């Protein structure tokens, strides 16, 4: 069953960029529906964080939550260095 979801232009552009990034990394062209399904699946895994975000207050994560996040990294298939991460985090484009 298909459902139409309206999102702002800003978030549509973010979704399109994510779709393109997934294609570049995986070589697999995913539909917007597939990308959204992946995001919803991840949202189910981190439901407490999403509920807090929806309530407008994000509390500090406890050590168990932090451990879950740190133990489940996603390999994007690119080597990164501390310099690259600093450039991305602090505003310089690294790619």
- pLDDT tens readout for residues 27-46: 999 999 999 999 999 888 88
Q: How far apart are CA 36 and CA 53, in angstroms?
A: 18
Kindly state the average pLDDT of the residues 48-68: 77
The helix, strand and coil proportions of the chain, stated in percent and rounded to the nearest 5, come to 60, 0, 40
CB 36 within 8 Å of CB 56? no
Domain ranges of the chain: 7-66
Q: How many CB atoms lie within 10 A of CB 30?
A: 16
Regarding pTM above 0.85, the answer is: no
Q: How far apart are CA 44 and CA 67, in angstroms?
A: 17
Kindly state the average pLDDT of the residues 67-79: 80
H or E segment at 79?
Answer: none
């Amino acid at each position: 069953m298909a459902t139409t979801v309206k999102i702002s232009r800003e978030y549509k552009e973010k979704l399109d960029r994510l779709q393109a990034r997934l294609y570049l990394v995986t070589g697999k062209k995913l539909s917007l529906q597939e990308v959204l399904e992946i995001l919803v699946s991840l949202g189910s895994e981190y439901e407490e964080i999403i509920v807090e975000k929806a309530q407008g207050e994000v509390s500090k994560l406890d050590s168990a939550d932090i451990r879950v996040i740190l133990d489940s990294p996603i390999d994007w298939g690119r080597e990164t260095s501390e310099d690259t991460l600093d450039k991305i985090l602090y505003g310089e484009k690294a790619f």
